[in-house]
Amino acid sequence: MTKKTIAQPPVKFTGIKEIKMPTSAVGFKAIKSALTHITDEVGIMKGIGLLAKLNQKDGFDCPGCAWPDPDEKRAFLAEYCENGAKAVAEEATKNRVSPLFFATHSIAELGLLSDFELGKKGRVTQPMYLPEGATHYQPIEWDAAFQIISNNLKKLQSPDEAIFYTSGRTSNEAAYLYQLFVRQFGTNNLPDCSNMCHESSGAALSETLGIGKGSVTLDDFKYAEVVIVIGQNPGTNHPRMLTALGETKKHGGKIISINPLPEVGLKNFIEPQNPLKWLGDGMDLSDLFLQVKINGDVALLKAILILLNQKEMNNPGTVFDTDFIQKQTQGYEDFIGDLETYNFDDLVNQTGISLSEIAAAVEILANNKKIIVCWAMGLTQHKNAVDNIREVVNLLLLKGSIGKQGAGTCPVRGHSNVQGDRTMGIWERPEEDFLNALDAHFNFKSPRKNGYDVVESIEAMYEKKAHFFLGMGGNFNSATPDTEVTAKALRNCELTVHISTKINRSHLIHGKEALILPCLGRTEKDIQASGEQFVSVENSMGVISKSVGHLEPLSEYLKSETAIVAGIANATLENTTVNWTAMAGNYDLIRDAIEATIPGFEQFNERIRILGGFYLPNSSRENDFSVTYTGKANFTINQVSDIVLKKDQYLMMTIRTHDQFNTTIYGLNDRYRGILNERRVIFMNSEDIKEAGLQHNDLVDLVSHFEGQERRAEQFLVIPYSIPRQCTATYFPETNVLVPLKSTARISNTPTSKTVVISIHKRE
């Protein structure tokens, strides 16, 4: 018999090359890299045809990040970035994983491939089935696959024994139909990638401002006097955001970046849209870079707020927006009272930043009124992540920097439709109003009990309280924390099902039986009973727009995500009140149902056909905080980090390279950080390396420490890097095995993937 398939990326070294860190982002090299990926995966002619439709008003939405497209003018052939082009190349690839491929490779064998090698095998072309005890996947007809799902769902003692995960690429139409099926089946077990991503932002913003989404639009970047980019690496993860930051600079605004790493994209940027500038010096972006220690952000913000408060007390009414505070907010006195209890020097020490640099930030903030704060995973994946974001809101409220042009909150979303999926009801804790609307429209009673989020789902499968897993996209095994625990949880299931475009490690870590259901991607034509369909998505700023694929589907066996949901629903639900076949045959009918049950979608079918789409209503953008629990915008009292490191311990953040999209590894380079052809590295401060008796390129094992438990990840190369003392960085998902499942953020329950306590051990 074969050995058990390994759950983690195998230890393989690919031959590190180190280069000097570049001094600017984007520019000619980025364009070259984009074209290389497109040419290698898709071919040059087809590739250029694809790029011409990418993010255009009549084209398809980039399957990369959720950064918005300009409302007005869009550049022909340039409304994309290097990493968007890689995302498209990855999906539209010529390479195929056919039944023959599965017949000639056992699952254990596939497990020995790295994520990079696995992904490069290409798109899955046919539904595949793994019977109990089998070593190879085999092809299966769609109807037989739906029947296996239905049989397994019907065997459960309760609908709550099934888990229905979603990754944020799923369109609004597919997501809506999916949650409707899951609720008609009888559970709210709808965990999604958001639980690991911006859940902390949603929790903090709903409490303080009344809506879990950001408040700014792209246009606001032109009017902002200050933009703070904190805990985010836009040069890699949202490259088109650099154009917006460039607009801020062109209009005289200042940029402050707050990050443990000097990320190149935040320093200097060469506009991709203007070839005349490709070889020039580029535009300097950050006016001030605060190199904060990992998880030192609440301390830093508090230190800034204390100094701002002192300035305000010296000259009342000149620093804070007292009128806004008085009329629109609640909790100011308690907040200021709390601020006065901190020891200022302790706070500064926690940040690792000099007092003069903090004072420079205070100077910029004191003298300006229109502030935008942008953030991503550097704030959301800590134990006090919700505190981080509430403290950001405190700053904006003091300055009255919300609900007006050029100011506000900007949580920069990850997956291209992660925000839309939540709007569509992909949530384990749905609002009563939403469920009531569903019940009334579809004439059934949806479940009221809260479902499991990602961490709770893993626990439920681990403890054998749940026996069925279905993933609508994503790579659950590799994206979640505590890889070995998650793998055991998935293996405990009776059936694991993945609706996927490409093969990934979650297909190899399976339940007793398993299915891979291949679906159409964004780039492909979607033809249903009523003809050619399009879908809709919501970007990071609440714009709903249309996305239509133009390529011929790569295989005749692929189904759309909506058709797959309808197939499962028809096979499973006996007394359903929904005509699944009709809805999947004509997405206008799904949009009619969305309009009838979700606020903000009036005349949806009409408005979605207007090129460019429409904005959803957003109360905090409109300066209306009446929807919070106090009826006002709320100041909050937040906690600084309580992590105490022992002498030989370090904090580790798990971050993305320039060549990956989450668990999809496009290539082996992290060009902007000077690392080529290798992923098994740990970035350390050179003083720490010296003190630990280590040397550049030493081979080390990493051990994480949590509540007396140890977890181990073996074989990483030590790289000296500009990073604060006792802080380290490694790449996700290689080190997810070190992130303890139970180490999560208060309130949002998001895994603390940016604060892992580790020790570092030299290999003999």
Ligand X SMILES: Nc1nc2c(c(=O)[nH]1)N[C@H]1C(S)=C(S)[C@@H](COP(=O)(O)OP(=O)(O)OC[C@H]3O[C@@H](n4cnc5c(=O)[nH]c(N)nc54)[C@H](O)[C@@H]3O)O[C@H]1N2
Return residues touching Mo ion (CB under 5 A).
197, 414
SS (H, E, C) 128-193: EEECCCCCCCEECCHHHHHHHHHHHHHHCCCHHHEEEEECCCCCHHHHHHHHHHHHHHCCCCCCEH
Residue 597's binding partner, choosing from ligand X, Mo ion, none, with beta-carbon cut-off 5 to 8 A by kind? none
Task: Determine whether 463 is exposed, middle or buried from the number of CB atoms within 10 Å of its CB (0-12, 13-18, 19+).
Answer: exposed
Map residues 362-401 to x or -, x wherever contact with ligand X holds by CB under 6 A: --------------xxx-----------------------
List binders of ligand X among 471-530 (CB under 6 A): 472-476, 479, 499-502, 504, 519, 521-522
Using an 8 Å Cβ cutoff, are 254 and 226 in contact?
yes
Number of helices followed by number of strands (H, E) in the chain: 30, 33
> Does 414 contact ligand X by CB under 6 A?
yes
Question: Please, which residue, 492 or 562, has the CB nearer to ligand X?
Answer: 562
Pick out residues in 702-761 that bind ligand X (CB under 6 A): 732, 736, 739, 753-754
DSSP state of 196: G
In the complex, least distance from residue 195 CB atom to ligand X, rounded to whole angstroms:
9
Q: How many CA atoms lie within 13 A of 685 on its CB side?
A: 17
Residues 196-215 that bind ligand X (CB under 6 A): 196-197
Per CB under 6 A, which region of 97-105, 232-240, 423-431, 603-611 contacts ligand X?
A: 232-240
Helix (H, G, I), strand (E, B) or coil at 258: strand
Q: Binding to ligand X by residue 294, rule CB under 6 A?
A: yes
Q: What is the closest distance, in whole angstroms, from the C-beta atom of residue 300 to ligand X in the complex?
A: 8
Residue 447 contact among Mo ion, ligand X, none, beta carbon within 5 to 8 Å by kind: none
Task: Pick the closer one to ligand X by CB: 299 or 571.
Answer: 299
Residues 83 to 112: which contact ligand X by CB under 6 A? 83
Q: Please provide the DSSP assignment of 649-675 as one string.
A: EEEEEEE--TTEETTEE--S-BGGGTE
Measuring CA to CA, which residue among 185, 147, 143 is closest to residue 573? 185
d(CA 453, CA 674): 37
Q: Which of 161, 263, 524, 538 binds ligand X (CB under 6 A)?
A: 263
d(CA 211, CA 203): 9
CA distance 417 to 554: 23
634 interface partner picked from Mo ion, ligand X, none, CB below 5 to 8 A per type: none
Q: How far is the CB of 739 from ligand X (least distance, A)?
A: 5
Q: Where are the alpha helices (DSSP H) in 194-267?
A: 199-209, 220-223, 234-237, 241-250, 264-267
> Tokens for 681?
């590295």
HEC secondary structure over 376-433? CHHHHCCCCHHHHHHHHHHHHHHCCCCCCCCCEEEECCCECCHHHHHHCCCCCCCCHH
Q: Does 123 bind ligand X (CB under 6 A)?
A: no
Report the residue from 330, 664, 728, 743 that binds ligand X according to the rule CB under 6 A. 664
689 binds, among ligand X, Mo ion, none (CB under 5 to 8 A by kind): none
Which does residue 233 touch among ligand X, Mo ion, none (CB within 5 to 8 A, set by kind)?
ligand X
| Coil, strand or helix at 253 | coil
Which run of H or E residues covers position 487? Answer: helix 483-491
Given candidates 102, 164, 462, 661, which one binds ligand X under the rule CB under 6 A? Answer: 661
The residue range among 93-101, 603-611, 630-638, 658-666 that interacts with ligand X, by the rule CB under 6 A, is 658-666
* Residue 496 partner contact from Mo ion, ligand X, none using kind-dependent CB cut-offs of 5 to 8 Å: none
Position 538 contacts ligand X (CB under 6 A): no
Q: Three-class SS of residue 39?
A: helix
Write out the residues near ligand X by the rule CB under 6 A.
64-65, 83, 167, 169, 193, 196-197, 230-233, 236-238, 258-261, 263, 292, 294-295, 297, 376-378, 414-415, 472-476, 479, 499-502, 504, 519, 521-522, 561, 653-656, 660-664, 732, 736, 739, 753-754
